[in-house]
Structure 1
Amino acid sequence: MGHFLTNQQIASLVEAIQSAENHSTGEIRVHIDSNTQDHYAKTAFEIFKELRMDKTTDRNAVLFHVNFEQKYLTIIGDVGIHEKVHQTFWDHLHDYITSEFAKGNYYQALKSAILETGLELKKHFPVEGENPNQLPNEITFS
């Protein structure tokens, strides 16, 4: 991961994901891609499917697909969450993260975005009863 995130920051982002998912049935993943040179959105959708993020019960998984070297970010919200928050939410989040990335605030930008997404998920998909973790919280890399 080099100079973008330390191991400690990666561990802290995993904790942020756990805490963001705490009161919602939604699932959040972060995928850090160091290989893709173009067709980012297409790659992000492939990873979304590979990680089985389109298989959640409420179709409310969110993927942050990041390529630090290329300063690229794709956010994919599955149909369930997308219907609730609409494009303006994603646009706002995307603008915030990319402007922070430009300043070198990689960790803080991702952490804030994860927690903000968690609040939206909690608002629209609150937990009733059991809340099994449908997807692992780890950060994936390619």
Structure 2
Amino acid sequence: MSTTNFFSKEQETQIVNAIKEAEKNTSGEIRVHIEATFKGEAMDRAIAVFNDLKMHETEARNGVLFYVATQAKQFVILGDDGINDVVPDNFWETTKNKVINQFKQGQFAQGLVEGIQEAGQQLKTYFKYQSDDTNELSDEISKG
């Protein structure tokens, strides 16, 4: 199955809405990228996508990428330096586990929605929403 049809329109809307909702509570920026497969290591690919999407260019360096390779069955959550400099080492583990538990049941959209909601909750502790906050990155799902 291609990434074009991996999520229904309704599921894509649910994911995008979860991003918008999560970003109402934090100045953090969340993106989702899906593609079928890749060469090399999943983390290396997620870093390349993170850079391609210019996620490292946010003012507070507080971008978060949810990277999914559908056919390769790989998933990575990648936070920028601004986040990783201030959060505990296991910061992303509970979020990642929540997502993977849903993925194992074939609930890919639900897994991402729950992970995005969790990320928003976690990020607001360190990156509070500011009244003059601007949405620095697109909320749309990017596809490879």
The answer to whether TM tops 0.5 is yes
What is the aligned partner in structure 1 of residue 23 from structure 2? 21
- CA distance in 1 between counterparts of 2:93 and 2:26 reads 22
Deviation at 1:35, TM superposition (A): 3.1
Which structure carries more helix by proportion? 1
Contact 1:37 1:70 in 2 (8 A): no
Question: Cα deviation per residue 1:59-88 (whole Å; 9 max; x = unaligned)?
Answer: 110000001222210110011112233231
Deviation at 1:2, TM superposition (A): 6.5
| Pick aligned residue for 1:86 from 85, 88, 98 | 88
What is the aligned partner in structure 2 of residue 138 from structure 1? 140
Partner amino acid, structure 2, of 1:141: K
> Structure 2-normalised TM-score?
0.90
Query: How many residue pairs get matched?
Result: 142
> Following superposition, which runs of at least 4 residues in structure 1 exceed 6 angstroms of deviation?
none
RMSD of aligned alpha carbons: 1.6
Deviation at 1:57, TM superposition (A): 0.8
Question: Cα deviation per residue 1:79-110 (whole Å; 9 max; x = unaligned)?
Answer: 11122332312122222222221111111110
> Structure 1-normalised TM-score?
0.91
* Structure 2 alignment gaps of length 5 or more: none
Partner amino acid, structure 1, of 2:49: I
Instruction: For residue 111 of structure 1, give the secondary structure of its aligned residue in structure 2.
Output: helix
Partner amino acid, structure 1, of 2:117: L
- CA distance in 2 between counterparts of 1:128 and 1:109 reads 28
What is the aligned partner in structure 2 of residue 12 from structure 1? 14
